[in-house]
Structure 1
Amino acid sequence: MGKSPLFFTNLCLRKSLKPVQNTNPQIRIPNRNLSVNRIDGKYEEIGKNSQNPDVVFAQEISKVIQTRPRWEQTLLSDIPGVDFVDPNVYNEVLKQQKNVMLSVRFYYWVRSQNGFLPDPVSCNMIFSRLVEAKAARAAKSFLEETKFEPEPGCLESYIECFFENGLVEEALDVFEQLKLAGQCVSLKTWNSAMLQSVKAKRVDVVWKLYSDMLECGIVGDVDTIGYLVQAFCMENNAAKGHELLRQILEAGHVPSNTVFNKLISAFCKSGNYAKVSALLHTMIAKNCSPDIHTYQEVIHGLCKRRMRHEALRIFNNLKDRGFFPDQVMYTTMIHGLCKMKWLGDARKFWFEMIQKGIIPNEHTYNALINGFWRTGNIVEAEKLYKSMCERGYGETTVSYNTMINGLCSNGKLDVARVLFDQMTEKGIVPDIITYNSLIQGFCKKGKILEGTYLLDQILKQGLQPSTASYTVLIEKLCEAGNVGEAKAFWKDMVDRGVEPAVSAYDSMILGLSEQGNVAEGMQWLGTMLKSRLKPQKKTFERLVQCLSEADRLSDALFVLDYMLKMGFVVSECIFLSLVKKLYPSNSSHVETCFGKILERS
């Protein structure tokens, strides 16, 4: 509990040589043209309406801590005689203080003073304000430092604050603490937590929350089920999500457009456009009209599956039906068309959006620039990049990556390196995509040492290398006959938890075969087949040739048999090379095996 009010008992009064005669002393507040009288145990300002001196002192204290950077060192001397540890004083300061972080500083300062006793009211006030400000880490630190027990309602907001800051594990800890205390949060908090988990793509948390919710006896609503549908979609299980939607609709509930849009996006991803069409009809039948975002998902899906004509038809139909495509919709179309190398249509939409007063953003510029690079139109790519920089969009990692990748793909490594150096000079941080583009560009030009140096820079910068970081290096080292170094990179890749690309296996098998190390090549092939990976046709054929040349005919026939089982058509030259080896032996066993192979082929 806090101390009893002793506001003015310790104030520094001017001393008198004679005994005090005035029973109603007047007190001057420093730095303010204001006096306070004590009359019959109460305080009032002279020349003003009666005012609580707590408020007066709080205003003075607030002014000091708001205007002086290091007020902690001088506050006692700036406002002498105030009993700062009295709860009525510091609580009034906290009430007046708008800046929650200054409130925290003031509270810690008061707590460091002699005579301070914790006050739950002030703790709860600061904690709740930190939560309202979404300062999750500061709220957690304050709670751990003060060790007070917040009100249950405030803890629910605390959970939401953690989720909104992406601190999922911390939020789950609070859930668990409430569960152990026998308290169950409201449905609103459960739904808020599930929504944030969906946004964070933490499907595991969605299912945990739903399980705990059922355990607490809380019955979900249409929003709850909507989050479960979205969780199924994120797990690439649109069929189960669709079944859950059907059950909601049969129960007479209609979820938000977001739920329909996620399902539509999932079915577009798998190419199930019959389900997409059915969902669009369902939305219309349930008076949940598809909006621009719904059609955006459809168009995005069609573009990803290179269904250009269908995407264009829907986009043009939207305009005919009175929809007004926005910046995102135009960018989606331009990006999709550029990936398909349909630059004519992409440029048409570019100028169309500008004519309608829709200003292209950084993503629109980068999409079209990338399209120019893909088609080898270097002049237009550089011209558009210059225009983008003039509009202030060029100073980002994404924009630099678009240019560096395009330059490397088109063999302009010197210019790409200049842009890379510019990034460092301007304080723009390169990411793994930047480094991978340069590694691939240098390696494709045969500059493996430069590629190796860049991979070393990735590790020194503390970045996690990706599959692409290693793949091209392994491929080029194998082509150059340096399989030993390629193996070293492979080991480093696996040790760092990076998944090898299928093409990297092919490169290792080809490299080993070219060196005559067919036995190890067979081992690598076996690893691929056990992992259900499909080697390339050239990998099979070259291994068969090398095995045949090494007189390992049984192994050659074994590999050829697997090749046919996987649906490849064997080249005539492969058969001829085997026949030359097999014919002198004139073995009936070999003729039988070879006959079966020919039948399969």
Structure 2
Amino acid sequence: MARAPSPILIFIRQNPRTRPNPNTQIRNLALEIREADCGGGVIKPNPDHEPSRNAHNEFTEIAKEVCKITRTKPRWEQTLVSDFPSFNFSDPRFFNELIKHQNNVLLSLRFFHWLCSCDGFSPDPLSLNTLFNALVEAKACSVAKDFLDYTGFKPEGASLECYVRCLCEVGLVEEALDVFDRLRGDGINPSIATWNSALSGFLKVRRTDLVWKLYGEMMESNVAAKVDVETVRYLIQAFCDDGKVSKGYELLRQILEDGFDPGSATFNRLISGFCKERQYDNVSELLHTMIAKNHAPTIFTYQEIINGLGKRRNWLEGFRIFNDLKDRGYAPDRVMYTTMIRGLCKLRWLGDARKLWFEMIQKGFIPNEYTYNALIYGFCKIGNLEEARKLYKEMCDRGYRETTVSCNTMIAGLCLNGRADDARGLFEEMPQKSVIRDVITYNTLIRGFCREGKIVESINLLKDLQVQGLQPSTESFTPIIEKLCQMGEIQEAKKLWDDMESRGLIPMVCTRDHIITGLCDQGFIEEGMEWLLEMLKRNLKPNRSTFERLIQCLSQIDRPDDTLLVLDFMFRIGYTLQKGTCQSLVNKLCKENSHFVEALLGEVLERM
């Protein structure tokens, strides 16, 4: 007995005005075939088409219809069988056809899982590999990994290589290494392109340890002889990232001698590294080599040099190079102008900074919020708050909204000029303007209040910082500890020190100096000596004034042995005594009868 027509067929027959579904004939054909089979009848083949071609066309048409249903119908799994009552979805040929026409690989995966829940379906290797490749091509690496775990099948070697590249592109480097091990375990040696892709991926996530691990495996494999210039570029970058720029430079020289050209990016990376290390002779040599290799340094190359000089506070040299660039016909962009304006402001050369400001505008570059902030900072630094406020207003009027950076700049300028209360007003307005206050905002205001001796306000800010869910930094504690030591509140300063260390923060060297001086001022000289010895054990260099204050206190309480011991440490570090301190010490020691004092007094005088 024939199966009852499907709900879709009934709907079409009852609504003749409805636009006919293009798959109706296919479904009817499939239904008629099934009915004929059940009733013993025979359907004569169409003489114009081969049976295999009919089957293929049927798969194609139904695949298109199913793709449409899976894209538009939310719970299609519940009705798909009844929509196509006579069709065998378990045929692997159909699934391959569906993947061809489905433009959403996740919907294909969903259909695959539905098929797996149907009786009689057993995925063939071709279907599995096709779906896996589609997932990899769509960069759905995590889904592809789950698919492998779920099915347990082994993709082809070429598919796994694509998978490695996909994993590296999205940063899943540990998983990429596992796949490499799997490939090699199966006796497959990846291509050099795949190895290079992995090296590139490791560098993107700053895992140079994996770069060197993988490179070691490369040298042990058959691909070692195929290492190309791209591989070398990644190795040079890894050296630079590890702070071993000189080794990267050696590798560059080797490949240049072998006739290979690594490209401008490699030169720029080494130049940037040498700038950070202040090795400007090597920078100059690299520039000449670039030119010799027909790689004319671009404006971005010089941008790296100027940035490197700026980070080392060598803005004078940066300004010289900047002017030289313009003389040689280079056209600085807004980024370089902004960088140079910021550097000149740090030098307090506001006149030159203003000239560059107007020159930049004449060249057609409109100042952005970073350029404004750089010049605002410069005017604040020289105490011209009126001009700084004008620029700030102009920046806002031009449509640049107030940001954390711009507010921090103004707060720093006000605090720098003894206007901490005004800075607090701006600080309190920030939440009303939907501007986030960060740790730098708090630290800047804490430092400003400490400069003005308002220790209570500073401590309250430190507490509020933590209430707001922010993590204090070393700079949050340092000015408060310094001011407490100056005020004689040495015990409170030590409590803050303990709090800072318990958070894993590394105190600044000057903070120890402040505590030693504070202990001496309060008469805790023995403890001050202990703090000094601890600094020396840690190879930290105390300030000269710290030594002199401790020497002065020790000599006042008649501790000549300890006095000379501290003096010896002071000389070993390379400090000398100021004339007044030296005369006072000699007069004090001359009153002693100790043979030890007499023996060392000559050495003291020799080192003056």
Could you say which residue in structure 1 is the equivalent of 2:356? 349
1:306/1:340 contact within 8 Å kept: no
Q: Deviations over 1:186-224 (max 9, x none)?
A: 222222232333344333232222222212242322222
Query: What is the rounded CA distance, in whole Å, between the counterparts of 1:40 and 1:411 in structure 2?
Result: 101
Partner of 2:518: 511
> Structure 2 stretches of 5 or more lacking a match?
30-42
Give the corresponding residue for 2:156.
Answer: 151
Deviations 1:359-411 (A, max 9, x none): 33443333333333333333333333344445554365444444444444445
2:167 is equivalent to residue 162 of structure 1? yes
Aligned residue number for residue 298 of structure 2:
291
- Report what 1:132 is aligned to: 137
Post-superposition shift, 1:433?
A: 3.2
C-alpha offsets along residues 502-551 of structure 1, whole Å, 9 cap, x if unaligned? 11221221222222222222122112112221111111111112222333
Q: Which amino acid aligns with 2:195?
A: W
Give the TM-score, by structure 1 length: 0.83
2:21 is matched with which residue?
33
Change (3 A) 1:33 1:468: same
Contact 1:474 1:489 in 2 (8 A): yes
> 1:30-55 CA distances to partner (integer Å, 9 max, x unpaired)?
9853321427679x9xxxx9893444
Q: Could you give the per-residue CA deviations for residues 88-129 of structure 1, whole angstroms, max 9, x where no partner exists?
A: 555544433434445445545555566654455555445444
Residues 14 and 366 (structure 1 numbering): CA distance in 2 closer, same or farther, change over 3 Å?
A: closer
Compared with structure 1, are the counterparts of its residues 67 and 311 closer, same or farther at alpha carbon in structure 2 (3 Å cutoff)?
same
The residue number in structure 1 matching 2:37 is none
Change (3 A) 1:538 1:288: same
More deviation, 262-271/462-471: 462-471
1:22-76 CA distances to partner (integer Å, 9 max, x unpaired)?
xxx9xx9x9853321427679x9xxxx98934444444444455456x5468765
Deviations 1:247-266 (A, max 9, x none): 11111112111221122222
* CA distance in structure 1 between the partners assigned to 2:195 and 2:212 by the alignment: 12
Cα offsets for 1:158-210 (capped at 9, x unmatched): 33333333333333333333344443322222222323333443332322222
Question: Are 1:274 and 2:281 matched, yes or no?
Answer: yes
- Name the counterpart of 1:230: 237
Whether contact under 8 Å (1:131, 1:161) holds in the other structure is yes
Q: Which whole-Å CA distance do the structure 1 matches of 2:306 and 2:408 have between them?
A: 25
More helix by share: 2
Q: Which residue of 2 aligns with 1:21?
A: none
Q: 1:195 aligns with which of 175, 195, 200?
A: 200
Contact 2:233–2:266 at 8 Å: present in 1 too?
yes
Q: Secondary structure at the match of 1:218?
A: helix
Aligned partner (choices 3, 9, 12) of residue 6 of structure 2: 12
- Percent identity over paired residues: 53
Instruction: Look up the match of 2:387.
Output: 380
* SS in structure 2 of the partner of residue 278 of structure 1: helix
- 8 Å CA contact 2:8, 2:83 repeated in 1: no
Q: 2:584 aligned with 1:590, yes or no?
A: no
Q: 1:162 to 1:351 in 2, by over 3 A?
A: farther
Report the more deviating stretch, 392-401 or 585-594.
392-401
**Alpha carbons of structure 1 residues 76 and 264: separation in structure 2 relative to 1, 3 Å:** same
Deviation string for 1:141-166 (max 9, x for gaps)?
44444444333333333333333333
Work out whether residues 394 and 400 of structure 1, in 8 Å CA contact, stay in contact via their aligned partners in 2: no
CA 1:584/1:313 → structure 2, altered by over 3 Å: closer, same or farther?
closer
CA contact (8 A) 2:6 2:82 kept: no
What amino acid does structure 1 have at the position aligned with 2:196? N
What is the TM-score with the length of structure 2 in the denominator?
A: 0.82
Change in Cα spacing, 1:562 to 1:407, as seen in structure 2 (3 Å) is same
Aligned twin of 2:490: 483
Which letter does structure 2 place at the counterpart of 1:158?
Answer: Y
**Structure 2 residue identity aligned to 1:511:** G
Larger Rg over CA atoms = 2
Structure 2 match to 1:5: none
**CA shift in 2, pair 1:386/1:530, >3 Å:** same
Whole-Å separation in 1 of the counterparts to 2:409 and 2:94: 59
1:520 aligned partner: 527
Alpha-carbon distance in structure 2 between the residues aligned to 1:262 and 1:308 = 21
Task: Kindly indicate whether the alpha-carbon contact (under 8 Å) linking 2:561 and 2:596 is maintained by their aligned counterparts in 1.
Answer: no
More displaced 10-residue stretch of structure 1: 424-433 or 502-511: 424-433
Q: Give 1:242's aligned amino acid.
A: Y
Q: Distance in 1 between matches of 2:57 and 2:573?
A: 89
RMSD of aligned residue pairs (Cα, Å): 3.9
Give the Cα separation in 2 of the matches to 1:401 and 1:550: 48
Deviation at residue 240 of structure 1 after TM alignment: 2.1
Q: Which amino acid aligns with 2:21?
A: N
**What is residue 548 of structure 1 aligned with on the other side?**
555
Task: Note if contact 1:326-1:358 (Cα within 8 Å) is conserved in structure 2.
Answer: yes
Check 1:77–1:117 CA distance in 2 against 1; reply closer, same or farther (3 A cut): closer
* Corresponding residue number in structure 2 for 1:3: none
What is the correspondence of 1:48-447 to structure 2 with a 5 Å cutoff? Answer: 52-67=57-72, 70-71=74-75, 76=80, 79=83, 81=85, 87=92, 91-108=96-113, 111=116, 117-118=122-123, 120-121=125-126, 123-219=128-224, 220-394=227-401, 396-413=403-420, 416-417=423-424, 424=431, 430-447=437-454
Corresponding pairs, count: 579
Distance of 1:141 and 1:403 partners within structure 2? 52
Counterparts of 2:110 and 2:153, CA distance in 1 = 17
